[in-house]
Structures are given as structure tokens and as C-alpha cells.
Amino acid sequence: MNAVARKLESLRSKGAMRNIEVANLLGTRPETVSRWNQGRAYPHPNTEKTLLELEYIVDQLSELYEPDEARQWIFSPQKLLSGASPAALIREGRIDEVLRLVSQLRDSVYL
């Protein structure tokens, strides 16, 4: 299993995310994600960076939520994001805002 495939597996196991959802978040097609998973293709550098950040977010959320709950959190409007969903911000290239919110959530749990 290649490194990208391991990241995709982590998204499936910790975030209950399917290829179509990953593709949607990364602005690509499910078939492309499938090729990454099989090692027949690799993401472009910017897409790979976003994939790694998404996997990090899901990993952090897995300490707070069950996989289905983490998935719902990503696709649901969030009050602390002015009603935007983390998924929408990720698609817009505003992943730093999502990373900050996840950090705040984690920090408040450990206070």
C-alpha cells in the first residue's frame, strides 16, 4: 500500500469518508481518487497538500468523535465558522480556518 493509499484508508476508517466525498473536497473526480488508492496515479502537489491536511483534520477529530460523527462535523454548518461547513471552506482553499477550529475544539477538551 502506497503512502497516498494509507491516507485515504485513514480517511475511510477515522472519518467514514468515501472516495466521492474525498474527491469533492479535493476538487477532483472519484475515479482519480480510486487511481491514487491503487497506486496508478498520484495527486498534484497542491492537491496532495490538501489531502494531507484533510487527513490530519480527520485524525484530530477522531480523538473527539466516532467516524460517522467526524464526517458529519466536516459536512455540517458550524457556528464558529459563521454557519459555513468545514467542507465548504476546504473546497474554497480556506483549510487554515478549519485547522484553527479543530485546534480550538481540541484545546477546549483538554482544559
The whole domain housing 69 covers 3-109
Alpha carbon distance 48, 110 (integer Å): 30
Through-space distance between the first and last CA atoms of the chain, rounded to whole angstroms: 38
Number of structural domains, the chain?
1
- From residue 97, give the alpha-carbon distance in Å to each of 6, 32, 52: 25, 26, 15
Alpha carbon distance 54, 99 (integer Å): 9
Q: What is the pLDDT of residue 111?
A: 44
Q: What is the pLDDT of residue 106?
A: 86
What residue type is 63 in one-letter code?
Answer: E
Q: What is the pLDDT of residue 61?
A: 96
**10-residue averages of pLDDT along the chain (111 residues):** 94 96 96 95 95 96 96 96 96 95 83 44
Q: What is the pLDDT of residue 107?
A: 85
Assessment of whether the complete model's pTM goes beyond 0.85? yes
